[in-house]
């Protein structure tokens, strides 16, 4: 079985986002970029399935600017076999991303698609769900455990107040949560080997898909500044402050 894994290039999670002066978007000029953290879990899971003999080939897919190649190379250094880069300077909404995935699913015929539960830049949490709908496939979202048996995937899903265990028919779309696994670091020899692994480039416009935006961003704002915390000397003082200053108890 082949697995297709989504890897998005996003602002590094350790970097503080700065908003452009005109409030139109987050300023990414010279910012450190990384693979979306949930996508690292997705790549790691695909590698573990391959190591367990349940998967023959791992193909990673990134849709984005030239530099998204670095993210794909990272996935190859972790252990993916092959990468596909759909090149575009446009920022795509989840529906458009799902359509690109749908196109490549038709071409690659994977038995499983793994994507992150959400991209930490747009926080949409929509791509996997939209892709499953477009394909008419089963889906497991917020997945923190994945077990494949024949035509079935059994998963644990993190839901409010507990865990949900479900079984879905393959082929399926699985969106993954951080607790699924601990992603491996790429070793230097594997980084070198990754440079020679196949990376196919496709120009988005040549796919002829309708990727026009459906939403208009009205404004992007910095979060409100938080006032500094205070250190208290005793539990009594803490309770007093909570009761009389914050008035929360
Ligand atoms: P979202 O619906 O935007 O929160 O994204 C959910 C997941 O879809 C991400 O964690 C990625 O696995 C995948 N995804 C979204 N956008 C892209 C992209 N441009 N390239 C590759 N994968 C993507």
Give pLDDT tens digits for 24-63.
999 999 999 999 999 999 999 999 999 999 999 999 999 9
Contact 77, 138 (CB under 8 A): no
Mean pLDDT, rounded, for 144-150: 96
**pLDDT for residue 101:** 98
How remote is the CA of residue 194 from the centroid of ligand 1, in Å?
Answer: 22
- CA-based torsion, 101, 65, 223, 116: positive or negative: positive
Whole-structure pTM value: 0.92
Residue 125 in tokens: 């949490």
- Interval 184-220: pLDDT, tens: 999 999 999 999 999 999 999 999 999 999 999 999 9
How many whole angstroms separate alpha carbon 169 and alpha carbon 197? 31
Nearest atom of ligand 1 to the alpha carbon of 124:
4
Is the pLDDT at 225 greater than 90, yes or no? no
Is the pLDDT at 140 greater than 90, yes or no? yes
Of 138, 58, 127, nearest in space to 99 by CA = 127
**pLDDT for residue 66:** 97
What percent of the chain stands above pLDDT 90?
93
How many whole angstroms separate alpha carbon 75 and alpha carbon 9? 11
Q: Residue 4's pLDDT band (boundaries 50, 70, 90)?
A: very high
Is the pLDDT at 137 greater than 90, yes or no? yes
Q: Mark residue 135 as left, alpha or beta (left: phi above 0; alpha: psi -120 to 50; beta: remaining).
A: alpha
Is the pLDDT at 74 greater than 90, yes or no? yes
Is the pLDDT at 128 greater than 90, yes or no? yes
Residues with CB under 6 A from ligand 1: 6-8, 36, 38-39, 61-64, 92, 94, 97, 115-116, 118-119, 122, 124-128
Per the DSSP assignment, residues forming a β-bridge with 154 are 147, 167
Of 35, 67, 85, 115, which is best to mutate to test ligand 1, by the most ligand atoms within 8 angstroms of its C-beta? 115
Mean pLDDT, rounded, for 67-83: 98
Q: Residue 228's pLDDT band (boundaries 50, 70, 90)?
A: confident
Of 6, 9, 99, 174, which is best to mutate to test ligand 1, by the most ligand atoms within 8 angstroms of its C-beta? 6
Contact 200, 87 (CB under 8 A): no
């Amino acid at each position: 079985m082949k697995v297709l894994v989504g890897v998005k290039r996003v602002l590094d999670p350790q970097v503080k986002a700065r908003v452009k002066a005109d409030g139109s978007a987050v300023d990414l000029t010279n910012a450190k970029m990384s693979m979306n953290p949930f996508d690292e879990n997705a790549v790691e899971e695909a590698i573990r399935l391959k190591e367990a003999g349940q998967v023959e080939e791992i193909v990673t897919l990134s849709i984005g600017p030239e530099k998204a190649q670095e993210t794909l190379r990272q996935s190859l250094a972790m252990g993916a076999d092959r990468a596909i880069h759909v090149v575009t300077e446009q920022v795509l909404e989840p529906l458009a991303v799902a359509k690109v995935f749908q196109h490549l699913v038709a071409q690659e015929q994977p038995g499983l698609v793994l994507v992150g539960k959400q991209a930490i830049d747009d926080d949409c949490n929509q791509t996997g769900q939209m892709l499953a709908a477009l394909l008419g496939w089963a889906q497991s979202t917020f997945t923190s455990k994945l077990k494949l048996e024949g035509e079935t995937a059994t998963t644990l899903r993190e839901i409010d107040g507990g865990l949900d265990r479900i079984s879905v028919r393959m082929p399926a779309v699985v969106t993954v949560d951080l607790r699924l696994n601990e992603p491996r670091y790429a070793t230097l020899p594997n980084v070198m080997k990754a440079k020679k692994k196949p990376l196919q480039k496709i120009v988005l416009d040549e796919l002829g898909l309708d990727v026009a935006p459906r939403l208009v961003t009205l404004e992007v704002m910095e979060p409100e500044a938080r006032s500094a915390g205070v250190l208290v000397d005793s539990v009594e003082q803490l309770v007093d402050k909570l009761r009389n200053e914050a008035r929360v108890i």
